């Protein structure tokens, strides 16, 4: 009986194996998009330089990111300098640099862009940068100021000043510029506004000698993006400047193939540029349905987290999955056909510099353990590695593909397997973990456990050695098992920084990593990580309220309590702070009302963890009621054939800085008048090449309000004269 049962089991296993043997056919003759960049928008205001380095080593060298998203600061965040908080002056053709928040940009460039770029280029890959400003009416960025949205001249100054500062001060040129992050999603950037900005920005970028071109439209989802593309598809003045079609995925994902086909017809790459719920499924769909060339991590979401301890960085759920693609598929790689005959096993293949990489994604709900035969591989040696259930990746050894181009691999459920061309020789081991637990100590605690892990492409034995690199004077750290991957470290008895080195070796290489543990002398006070007001950001009477927001964090996770205080308000004002409607009772946000008098209001956010109390003050300035500019006169006078002089006289009752924008409201069919200085009170307009009625409009804008005046001009044909 027993014997028969055993035979039966073997037979069943064989049947299972037979049934579940998928085949993936690689066809390098069928090529799709070229991969151009893996993007991220680095941001971690609380990290230390040590953590920044650790984060970027992981993000660039290991995960494989190559591209940064960054944008001008808008809003009123405590301690953050905005890019152009008020219009710099009355001339969009003149940059008054003192009015721009260059220090914030400098800090960002030094903290993130330069060290990131240096790491990408050290790998021999192209670094790329895209700029994306946000103007959410209800968000922390605040609604776009009137002078910025009503004058393409001012908008273009805002954008080009940013790009020029990056280039002239830091030698960094952005590759792409987005007019507005998620246009029409709770902001004023409808398709015609975006179109107007592109038409003005494009020629200016060229005139300034900038290589930056427009990324469009970065809609909140594929439907919105497609609608923007459709709205501007016939605008011949827009498309010469657009070099990247992009979309987010919040909502409809169904228009990816439409965007792909439109982009293909115009020879433009596509990209998925933001989504907070990234998975391998989304990555696969973006690469295969949209033919995405650019793909983005939002923030460090789902890949890496900087802990608040000043020393450690944590890998998140999708880190290892995405590494299976990004680490191996580098900018320049061309996606080629990789057809799987099993819907539960998705496959991707790429060719780069003559080398083929294959990724098998066996991590759908209905995926199962099976042998997979890959056909069509160029003969040669291949490294095979995988991650299972999002755990640290492991090398599975080197395989040789013979002239038949076939490789059969056992593939387990919930795994992502990468087959990469082995460069020959012997490769060093990869360190897949080097961490302390806990990640920090508060005296008198004095013990941590250090743990490292590694994997070797040739499956050489990997050995570990832990040493103490530095410790505070007077400390005598002991490592219980320094030759093991994991060892307790005791004797961290003196507050300060402890740095441990782990040496990870195969028989021919030595790789080192460092782990820092900070021992704090006593409990840490809470940190106020964010403090700002919004809705509106800038309060102008008769508006008299705003929303205050704060975000504290406590390192030891002590229970904290907070208090808001009004520290200062103008005489006659009577500010009241209330919990926002529908907010949870313990929410930190407050609605401030009763700001009925112009002047500065100072709000204090105070937080205590029972041991320490800290606070930050935030000033909200309430501006007096604003009166729109008054246009006293506007004239047009023909001064030469096909040319006219336009002039406006405007004043502001409050003495605000005014900016002008001249545009053509009406012209005979086919005529495109050109303004010398559309942003000046007086400008010449040329190109009035046909007889007929022209209407030129001047828009004059102060801080929050605009006035407009039409000027009519009739051009007669010579015969008519
Ligand atoms: Ca300006
Ligand atoms: Ca200016
Ligand atoms: Ca090795
Ligand atoms: Ca005014």
Q: What is the pLDDT of residue 330?
A: 98
**CA proximity to 591, closest of 602, 601, 578:** 578
| Closest ligand to the CA of 652 | 4
> Is the peptide bond preceding residue 361 cis, with omega within 30 degrees of 0?
no
| Span 48-57, average pLDDT | 97
Taking only the tens place, the pLDDT of each residue in 295-315 is 999 989 899 999 999 999 999
Percentage of residues of the chain with pLDDT beyond 90: 94
Contact status, residue 574 vs residue 594, Cβ threshold 8 Å: yes
**Nearby residues of 280 by Cβ (< 8 Å), 6 or more positions away:** 318, 321, 322, 325, 361, 363, 416
CATH homologous superfamily of domain 527-623?
Immunoglobulins (2.60.40.10)
Whether the per-residue pLDDT at 560 is higher than 50: the answer is: yes
| Closest ligand to the CA of 428 | 3
In the reported structure, the alpha carbon of residue 704 is separated from the centroid of ligand 4 by a whole-number distance in angstroms of 7
Q: CA–CA separation, 215 vs 28, rounded Å?
A: 29
In the reported structure, the alpha carbon of residue 96 is separated from the centroid of ligand 2 by a whole-number distance in angstroms of 6
In the reported structure, the alpha carbon of residue 539 is separated from the centroid of ligand 1 by a whole-number distance in angstroms of 20
Contact status, residue 48 vs residue 311, Cβ threshold 8 Å: yes
Q: CA–CA separation, 201 vs 197, rounded Å?
A: 6
- Number of C-beta neighbours around residue 93 at 10 A: 12
> Is the peptide bond preceding residue 185 cis, with omega within 30 degrees of 0?
no
- Give the residue carrying structure tokens 């190109």: 687
In the reported structure, the alpha carbon of residue 157 is separated from the centroid of ligand 2 by a whole-number distance in angstroms of 7
In the reported structure, the alpha carbon of residue 185 is separated from the centroid of ligand 1 by a whole-number distance in angstroms of 24
Q: What is the pLDDT of residue 79?
A: 83
In the reported structure, the alpha carbon of residue 408 is separated from the centroid of ligand 1 by a whole-number distance in angstroms of 62
Whether the per-residue pLDDT at 469 is higher than 60: the answer is: yes
The model's pTM: 0.94
Of 213-217, 376-380, 584-588, 678-682, which range is least confident?
Answer: 584-588
Map residue 378 onto helix, strand or coil. Answer: coil
| Span 328-335, average pLDDT | 98
Taking only the tens place, the pLDDT of each residue in 208-247 is 999 999 999 999 999 999 999 999 999 999 999 999 999 9
Q: CA–CA separation, 586 vs 155, rounded Å?
A: 40
Whether the per-residue pLDDT at 70 is higher than 80: the answer is: yes
Identify the CATH number of the domain defined by range 19-35+334-421: 2.60.40.1180
**CA proximity to 222, closest of 179, 187, 251:** 251
**CA proximity to 534, closest of 521, 545, 523:** 545
Helix%, strand%, coil% for the chain, nearest 5: 20, 40, 40
Taking only the tens place, the pLDDT of each residue in 170-209 is 999 999 999 999 999 999 999 999 999 999 999 999 999 9
Helices (H), 208-279: 222-232, 256-266
| Span 274-278, average pLDDT | 96
Q: What is the pLDDT of residue 7?
A: 42
In the reported structure, the alpha carbon of residue 657 is separated from the centroid of ligand 4 by a whole-number distance in angstroms of 8
Q: Where in the chain is the domain with CATH 2.60.40.1180?
A: 19-35+334-421
Confidence category of residue 9, pLDDT binned at 50, 70, 90: very low
Confidence category of residue 20, pLDDT binned at 50, 70, 90: low
In the reported structure, the alpha carbon of residue 145 is separated from the centroid of ligand 4 by a whole-number distance in angstroms of 13
CATH homologous superfamily of domain 630-715?
Immunoglobulins (2.60.40.10)
Contact status, residue 704 vs residue 87, Cβ threshold 8 Å: no
In the reported structure, the alpha carbon of residue 428 is separated from the centroid of ligand 3 by a whole-number distance in angstroms of 4
| Closest ligand to the CA of 97 | 2
Whether the per-residue pLDDT at 12 is higher than 80: the answer is: no
Q: Where in the chain is the domain with CATH 2.60.40.10?
A: 430-520, 527-623, 630-715
| Closest ligand to the CA of 151 | 1
- Give the residue carrying structure tokens 């799709």: 32
In the reported structure, the alpha carbon of residue 89 is separated from the centroid of ligand 2 by a whole-number distance in angstroms of 5
Map residue 166 onto helix, strand or coil. Answer: helix
The yes or no reply on domain 41-331 and CATH 3.40.50.300 is no
State the chain's mean pLDDT as an integer: 95
Q: What are phi and psi of 628, to 5 degrees?
A: -65, 160
**CA proximity to 466, closest of 440, 489, 448, 446:** 489
Map residue 310 onto helix, strand or coil. Answer: coil
Q: Which CATH class is domain 430-520?
A: mainly beta
- Give the residue carrying structure tokens 């053509």: 664
First to last CA, the chain: 114
Q: What is the pLDDT of residue 4?
A: 45
In the reported structure, the alpha carbon of residue 162 is separated from the centroid of ligand 4 by a whole-number distance in angstroms of 27
Q: What are phi and psi of 433, to 5 degrees?
A: -160, 140
Whether the per-residue pLDDT at 414 is higher than 60: the answer is: yes
| Span 480-490, average pLDDT | 98
In the reported structure, the alpha carbon of residue 240 is separated from the centroid of ligand 2 by a whole-number distance in angstroms of 26
Q: Go through 403-426 and write b for each residue having 16 or more CB atoms within 10 A of its CB, e for each that does not.
A: eebebebebebbbbbbbbbbeeee
| Span 642-648, average pLDDT | 97
Confidence category of residue 76, pLDDT binned at 50, 70, 90: confident
| Closest ligand to the CA of 429 | 3
Q: What is the pLDDT of residue 19?
A: 53
Residue 61 DSSP one-character state: I
In the reported structure, the alpha carbon of residue 679 is separated from the centroid of ligand 2 by a whole-number distance in angstroms of 10
In the reported structure, the alpha carbon of residue 351 is separated from the centroid of ligand 1 by a whole-number distance in angstroms of 47
Whether the per-residue pLDDT at 106 is higher than 90: the answer is: yes
Q: CA–CA separation, 570 vs 547, rounded Å?
A: 18
Whether the per-residue pLDDT at 44 is higher than 90: the answer is: no
| Closest ligand to the CA of 87 | 1
């Amino acid at each position: 009986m027993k014997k028969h049962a055993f035979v039966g089991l073997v037979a069943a296993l064989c049947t299972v194996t037979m049934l579940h043997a998928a085949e993936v056919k690689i066809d390098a003759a069928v090529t799709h998009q070229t991969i151009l960049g893996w993007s991220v928008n680095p941001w971690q205001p609380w990290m230390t330089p040590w953590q920044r380095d650790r984060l970027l080593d992981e993000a660039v060298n290991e995960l494989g990111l190559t591209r940064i998203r960054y944008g001008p600061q808008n809003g009123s965040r405590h301690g953050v300098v905005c890019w152009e908080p008020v219009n710099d002056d009355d001339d969009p053709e003149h940059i008054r640099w003192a009015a721009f928040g260059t220090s914030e940009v400098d800090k960002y460039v030094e903290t993130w862009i330069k060290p990131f770029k240096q790491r990408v280029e050290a790998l021999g890959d192209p670094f790329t940068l895209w700029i994306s400003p946000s103007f959410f009416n209800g968000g922390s960025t605040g609604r776009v100021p009137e002078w910025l949205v009503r004058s393409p001249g001012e908008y273009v100054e805002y954008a080009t000043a940013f790009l020029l500062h990056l280039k002239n001060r830091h030698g960094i040129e952005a590759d792409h510029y987005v007019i507005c992050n998620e246009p029409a999603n709770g902001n004023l950037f409808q398709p015609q506004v975006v179109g107007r900005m592109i038409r003005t920005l494009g020629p200016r970028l060229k005139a300034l000698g900038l290589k930056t071109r427009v990324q469009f439209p970065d809609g909140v989802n594929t439907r919105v993006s497609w609608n923007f593309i459709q709205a501007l598809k016939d605008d011949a003045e827009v498309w010469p400047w657009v070099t990247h079609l992009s979309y987010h995925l919040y909502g409809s994902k169904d228009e990816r193939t439409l965007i792909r086909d439109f982009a293909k017809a115009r020879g433009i790459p596509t990209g998925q540029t933001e989504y907070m719920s990234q998975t391998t499924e989304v990555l696969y769909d973006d690469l295969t349905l949209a033919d995405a060339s650019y793909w983005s991590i939002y923030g460090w979401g789902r890949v890496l987290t900087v802990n608040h301890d000043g020393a450690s960085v944590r890998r998140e759920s999708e880190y290892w999955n995405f590494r299976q693609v990004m680490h191996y598929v580098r900018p320049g790689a061309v996606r080629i056909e990789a057809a799987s005959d099993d819907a539960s096993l998705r496959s991707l293949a790429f060719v780069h510099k003559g080398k083929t990489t294959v990724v098998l994604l066996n991590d759908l709900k209905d995926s199962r353990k099976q042998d997979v035969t890959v056909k069509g591989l160029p003969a040669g040696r291949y490294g095979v590695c995988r991650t299972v259930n999002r755990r640290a990746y492991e090398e599975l050894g080197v395989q040789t593909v013979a002239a038949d181009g076939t490789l059969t691999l056992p593939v387990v459920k919930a795994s992502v397997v990468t087959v990469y061309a082995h460069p020959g020789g012997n490769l060093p081991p990869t360190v897949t973990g080097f961490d302390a637990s806990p990640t920090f100590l508060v005296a008198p605690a004095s013990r941590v456990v250090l743990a490292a892990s590694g994997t070797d492409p040739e499956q050489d034995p990997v050995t570990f050695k832990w040493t103490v690199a530095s410790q505070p004077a007077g400390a005598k750290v002991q490592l219980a098992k320094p030759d093991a991957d994991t060892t307790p470290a005791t004797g961290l008895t003196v507050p300060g920084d402890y740095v441990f080195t782990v040496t990870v070796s195969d028989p021919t290489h030595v790789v080192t990593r460092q782990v820092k543990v900070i021992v704090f002398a006593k409990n840490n006070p809470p940190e106020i990580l964010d403090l700002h007001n919004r809705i509106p950001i800038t309060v102008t009477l008769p508006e008299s309220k705003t929303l205050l927001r704060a975000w504290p964090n406590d390192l030891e996770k002590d229970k904290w309590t907070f208090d808001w205080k009004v520290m200062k308000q103008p005489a006659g004002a009577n500010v009241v702070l209330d919990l926002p409607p529908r907010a949870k009772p313990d929410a930190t946000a407050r609605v401030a009302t009763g700001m009925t008098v112009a002047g500065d209001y100072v709000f204090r956010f105070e937080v205590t963890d029972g041991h320490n109390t800290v606070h930050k003050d935030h000033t909200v300035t309430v501006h007096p009621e604003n009166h729109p500019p008054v246009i006293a006169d506007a004239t047009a006078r023909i001064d030469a054939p096909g040319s006219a002089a336009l002039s406006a006289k405007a004043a502001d009752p409050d003495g605000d800085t005014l900016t002008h924008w001249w545009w053509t409201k009406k012209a005979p069919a086919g005529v495109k008048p050109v303004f010398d200085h559309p942003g000046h009170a007086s400008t010449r307009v040329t190109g009035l090449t046909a007889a007929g009625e022209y209407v030129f409009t001047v828009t004059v804008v102060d801080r929050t309000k605009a006035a407009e005046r039409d000027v009519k001009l009739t051009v007669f044909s010579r015969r008519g004269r």
